[in-house]
Amino acid sequence: MMQKFQKFGAAMFVPVLLFSFAGIVVALGSLFNNQAVFGSLANPGTTWYSIWDTISAGGWTVFKQEALLFVVGLPIGLANKSRGRAAMEAVITYMTYNYFVGAMLSHWGASFGIPNFDKIQIVENSTNHGLTEIAGIKTLDTSIIGALVVAGIVIWLHNHYFDKKLPDWLGTFQGSTYVYILGFFLMIPLALITCWGWPKVQLGITGMQHFITNSGVIGVWIYNFLNRILIPTGLHHLVYIPFQYGPAVVAGGLQPYWLKHLTKFALSTRPLKQLAPEMGFQLWGNEKVFLAPVICLAFYATAKKNKKKQTSALLIPAALTSFFAGITEPIDFTYLFAAPILWVIYSLLSATMNTIMFSFGVVGNFIFGSIDMAAENWIPLWANHWQTFLVQFTIGIIFAILTFFIFKFMIIKFDYATPGREKDDEDVHLLNKKEYQAKKESASSATTTARPSKNEKETDPYVERATAFLDLLGGSSNIKELSSCATRLRVTVADPNKMGSDAQFKSAKAVNVVHHGKAIQVIVGLDVAQVLEAMQELRKQDNKQD
């Protein structure tokens, strides 16, 4: 069950990757049309205003169509085969579902508590009585929840029935058509259940929003702690996505809410915490800017003298990536399994830092690195809210110093094998395939499979790593499922005993390996998509050889 949740969380990350860029575009549009910064140049009607308003309109695409993005993204991550067709099936089935909902409410809206469905006009920045418009269809606003449910149903249908052989006279209905036919009829009862139950759920969500919004510092601390401590399980996606992009706190999610009101907040002299108290749930990027880089510094300070140069080469890019882009996994997984207590301490420090910041009035959209923070917070809001950011910097620096000394003390006191402190014999050279194959062949009678030539591997570093990872996972025949999230390969193997050691994976340029029985995560880095594609091509070659 844990493995399924991990795969689901990773699949949800497929569309989430688009939100960072879209957020920057919208934030820049809001910044350059901020009259407090650019004066009359940013007045409505000017050419300057029109240009940036147009650019912002394009940036809003991702946020306004997020339900469709999740419908497309889940099949890409979870379909066993023909993922492009699965994505198409999911989109058309989701639209069918919403057409059913709209038609039912049009005919029987009074029975479901929405008597004036046909008369309600969808207005931007309004609750619209719980309604919305998706791809031109007026329907109930189920946000990403409806999208995930429908996508999940379609993925199950696709994985079970896409390859089903129908009688020859029904051959035209095979494949995607058959999946859609099944989905079509399943959407009728689902739409009926939605019309009956979702208005009640919306009332419940409203109550939950009120509770969370008024839970104060305790709610902020718990949220931030879970969002950090759960990263090794991959379940942190399920914690923050309903807050950031879903209806857990505000309709449409906290990030779009912040961007929509950014200009208003910039012009106001009232404290930000009074203007947007719910944005205390969006502070979890602070540890990426203030804490993760000093953790790297602590690793360097405690590294062996003969490994400091190698350690700095590993940690400097990781620290910069965390500070500027907000991607911490290359750091996280360098010590998470060598010293898990440090991970717990890091999670406690992160949650406490963010909660103290919130207590002193710091709120905003602080979820990525310093570039996003500057574009979406510091630059547009500095004129009227610089005091808030000075508080943020002060608390962040204090916790950075505290984190450095705690980590340094713990590493030395308990001799944790953090980067630079590994045993000398674990600092192995880049995996030599011939050496590894010789060892594997001596341990089993498995035959080797075809691989790209040496020249091909030398010109394509992705193929080189893909070849090594495939071999270390026990070969194509040992891999049952293969996918990825933002930085990790997610693999289900038939026999974990056929795998290579973690040290061999590291020598092949993996950051680390996570083991959950037959569910394996190979921490690769931000170019995991290219490595995955190369591995899939190699597996195709292996299958042809078989």
Helices (H) and strands (E) in the chain, counts: 24, 6
Distance CA 228, CA 241 (A): 13
**Residue 286 — φ and ψ, nearest 5°?**
-65, -35
- Please list the pLDDT of the chain residue by residue as tens digits (546 residues): 555 555 665 566 567 667 667 777 877 787 788 776 687 888 889 999 999 999 988 988 887 887 888 899 888 878 888 888 999 999 999 999 999 999 999 999 988 888 888 888 887 655 677 788 888 899 998 877 888 899 999 999 999 998 888 887 887 888 899 999 999 999 999 999 999 998 887 777 656 556 666 778 888 998 899 889 887 665 566 577 778 876 777 777 888 889 889 989 999 999 999 999 889 999 999 999 999 999 999 999 999 888 888 788 878 888 887 888 787 876 887 777 678 899 999 999 999 999 999 999 999 999 888 888 988 899 999 999 999 999 999 999 999 999 999 999 999 999 888 888 866 544 433 333 444 344 445 444 433 444 555 454 445 678 889 999 999 999 999 999 888 876 788 899 999 999 998 888 988 888 888 888 888 989 887 678 788 888 988 888 877 766
- Number of Cβ within a 10 Å radius of residue 277: 17
Task: Return the pLDDT at 3.
Answer: 59
Contact predicate 34/263, CB 8 Å:
yes
Task: Return the pLDDT at 126.
Answer: 56
Tokens of 70: 């999740």
Q: How far is CA 461 from CA 98, 107, 452, 513, in A?
A: 45, 59, 12, 20
Q: How far is CA 394 from CA 357, 360, 390, 419, 525, in A?
A: 9, 11, 6, 29, 31
Contact predicate 14/76, CB 8 Å:
yes
First-last CA distance in the chain: 32
Distance CA 382, CA 385 (A): 5
Task: Return the pLDDT at 291.
Answer: 96
Task: Return the pLDDT at 445.
Answer: 41
512 sits in which H/E element: strand 512-516
Task: Return the pLDDT at 39.
Answer: 79
Distance CA 362, CA 388 (A): 6
Task: Return the pLDDT at 100.
Answer: 97
Q: Which of these, 228, 204, 220, lies nearest to 277 by C-alpha position?
A: 220
The CATH architecture of the domain made up of 461-543 is 2-Layer Sandwich (3.30)
Distance CA 23, CA 30 (A): 10
Where does residue 164 fall: left (phi above 0), alpha (psi -120 to 50 degrees), or beta otherwise? beta
Distance CA 157, CA 146 (A): 17
Cα-based torsion angle of the residue sequence 239, 243, 249, 253 in order, rounded to the nearest 10 degrees: -160
Contact predicate 333/440, CB 8 Å:
no
Task: Return the pLDDT at 397.
Answer: 97
Task: Return the pLDDT at 457.
Answer: 45
Distance CA 257, CA 536 (A): 39
DSSP letter (8 states) at residue 484: E
521 sits in which H/E element: strand 519-523
Q: Which of these, 289, 253, 245, 263, lies nearest to 73 by C-alpha position?
A: 245
Strand 479-484 vs strand 137-140: parallel, antiparallel, or unpaired? unpaired
232 sits in which H/E element: none
- Residue 296 is a catalytic residue: no
pTM attached to this predicted model: 0.59
Domain segments of the chain as ranges: 249-420, 461-543
Beta-bridged to residue 516, according to DSSP, are 519
> Which is the catalytic residue, given 25, 375, 485, 528?
485
Task: Return the pLDDT at 243.
Answer: 82
Q: Which of these, 253, 133, 122, 143, lies nearest to 198 by C-alpha position?
A: 143
Task: Return the pLDDT at 450.
Answer: 45
Residue 308 amino acid letter: K
Distance CA 35, CA 403 (A): 40
Q: Could you give the angle at the alpha carbon of 335 between the alpha carbons of 240 and 325, nearest 5°?
A: 50
Task: Return the pLDDT at 430.
Answer: 30
Contact predicate 465/525, CB 8 Å:
no
Task: Return the pLDDT at 207.
Answer: 62
Task: Return the pLDDT at 286.
Answer: 96
Task: Return the pLDDT at 12.
Answer: 61
Contact predicate 79/155, CB 8 Å:
yes
